[in-house]
Amino acid sequence: MYDFFKNKAKNNFCMSGGVCSIHPSVNSLYQVLLSEIREISFYLVKLNEFKIENKNITSNCITILSTFLINTNFNKTKYLEVFKTLNKQKREVKEKYLNFSKENNIPFEVINTSFEVKNDFSVSKLIQYYQEHVQRNQKTDDDERFNLFELITIIARLCALNIAKIKNFESTFDKYDFEILRFFALTNSYSIKKEKIIRRIKEFAPISRKIKSKLDEIYIEKYGQKQDVDVHFDILKGYNILVSGSDFNELEDVLKAIEESKIENINVYTNGALLLAHQYQYFKNNHFLKGHFGTNNAEYDFSIFPGAILLTRNFIQKIDGLYKGEIFSNKLISFDNILDIKNYDYKPLLNACLKLENNNNKCGKNLVIKYKKEQIKESIENFNEKEIIILLDSKNHDNIFETYENKKILNFDFPFMEDILFETIEKLLKKDVKITMFFTQCSLITINILTSLLDLNLNLKIKPCIDAIINPHVIESLKKDFQIEMI
């Protein structure tokens, strides 16, 4: 088993983060959810014109919009529950809009793609529904407009993902919920002019930045300032838990559950995007959090980890080829053959890890993360040149240094220092500095940052994407409509 996953990880791209294609049936089912949210957004915008709100439905749409469905082994029952709720809410807001319009003799518009939910509706029928109705309605001869709609969709989803993380700490936070859905509602109309779509995308970029800044502020307030940290990749003897995803609050909950259990020899490791947690004072100083484990290849990582595993609510990686027990999940639409965490009760996770004692220490490399906030601030304050190169993740890119050897190059250890990126750009633009930015990798994180900068006068360059979550239509729109250069 070890050799199988080792070879697969080495030779096959179809491993982490949704690389390679998502199965057509899974894509169809997620597009059905997007279609429901799209229609709900349309009616919520119409009702808002009449000063009518529905915060519960708006909040639920944001939650579903933040959910990424990329694995074929998802829980079908949970998926159908989510769809049924959305469908009911769609009919509710549609009826409210029509009734108000008729009672006040106001002309109304209707989207006629409703799916009639019967007692025998199923996943297979929803796939058929998508192919016969939703997909057909999305077809257009205007590829450029379709590409822009795909760009809007990924921007809205990434903003919803950040909002979902904010609501982990402030459950009633709804400042940007409607703004995201109003933005997403643009994808209902193929008659809207291309120039207007581009303008609206640029207008939405500052909102995206505000959402990201709000999340950064919450992390600092909750977990303390970022610090330099030496992250260990060693797996220690004892009982081990791996937490994978991007939800800091769930990592915190696991650590607190261990503390309350009074069991001292449980070691916790992060995986994937949770590497970022180690910078914060709370996590850096927690004696149960021992380090980070993994290659950012979830199937391989999980198959060899000597302990129990938790997938947080916003875990986004493909694990279709994984065969291993003792994996738990908090995801809204979780996986088959994976145990659900109910009501954030982590006792089953702790009990599982106590059955999987690791008897051998495994040594790995360390990663030193330097948080150079003050150095960058000082560098920008004293900067008086006309042009600057901002390089995000500067490893193994000597060609860029050679090309711009006569220019000032500012290195960001990305994504570890993305929180001060916006502040840096704002100060440089006030000095009328020409900024060229290199994103030397393409991922959800980089697309999230890049799309939040589309309203600014920047020269943006990014490496080609091989991630199925960021589909080619999005990249084509970024190149053609926003002059983003592929490197």
More confident residue, 7 or 231: 231
Residues contacting 429, CB < 8 A, separation 6+: 435, 456, 457
Residues contacting 471, CB < 8 A, separation 6+: 150, 154
As a whole number of angstroms, the distance between CA 393 and CA 418 comes to 10
Q: Give residue-wise pLDDT tens across range 353-400.
A: 999 988 888 877 888 888 888 888 888 888 889 999 998 876 666 677
As a whole number of angstroms, the distance between CA 405 and CA 292 comes to 35
Quick count: other Cβ atoms within 10 Å of Cβ 392? 23
Q: Give residue-wise pLDDT tens across range 177-195.
A: 999 999 999 999 878 899 9
pLDDT at 285 over 70: yes
Choose the weakest-confidence range: 308-322, 349-363, 394-408.
Answer: 394-408
Peptide bond into 24 cis (omega under 30): no
- The C-alpha angle with vertex 149 and arms to 147 and 154, in degrees rounded to 5, equals 95
Q: Give residue-wise pLDDT tens across range 160-181.
A: 999 999 999 999 999 999 999 9
pLDDT (0 to 100) of residue 444: 86
As a whole number of angstroms, the distance between CA 240 and CA 18 comes to 26
pLDDT at 102 over 60: yes
- DSSP line for 151-210: HHHHHHHHHHHHHHHHHTT-TT--TTHHHHHHHHGGGG-SSS-HHHHHHHHHHHHHHHHH
pLDDT (0 to 100) of residue 160: 98
Residues contacting 243, CB < 8 A, separation 6+: 250, 251, 254, 268, 269, 270, 271, 274, 309, 310, 312
* Residue 112 pLDDT class (50, 70, 90 cuts): confident
pLDDT (0 to 100) of residue 136: 63
pTM check: above 0.85 = yes
Domains of the chain in start order, with CATH, are 2-222 (no CATH), 229-366 (3.40.50.2030), 368-486 (3.40.50)
User: Can you tell me whether residue 122 is helix, strand or coil?
Assistant: coil
pLDDT (0 to 100) of residue 468: 62
- 28-32, 216-220, 363-367 — most confident range: 216-220
Count Cβ atoms within 10 A of the Cβ of residue 268 and give its class: 0-12 exposed, 13-18 middle, 19 or more buried: buried
As a whole number of angstroms, the distance between CA 440 and CA 83 comes to 38
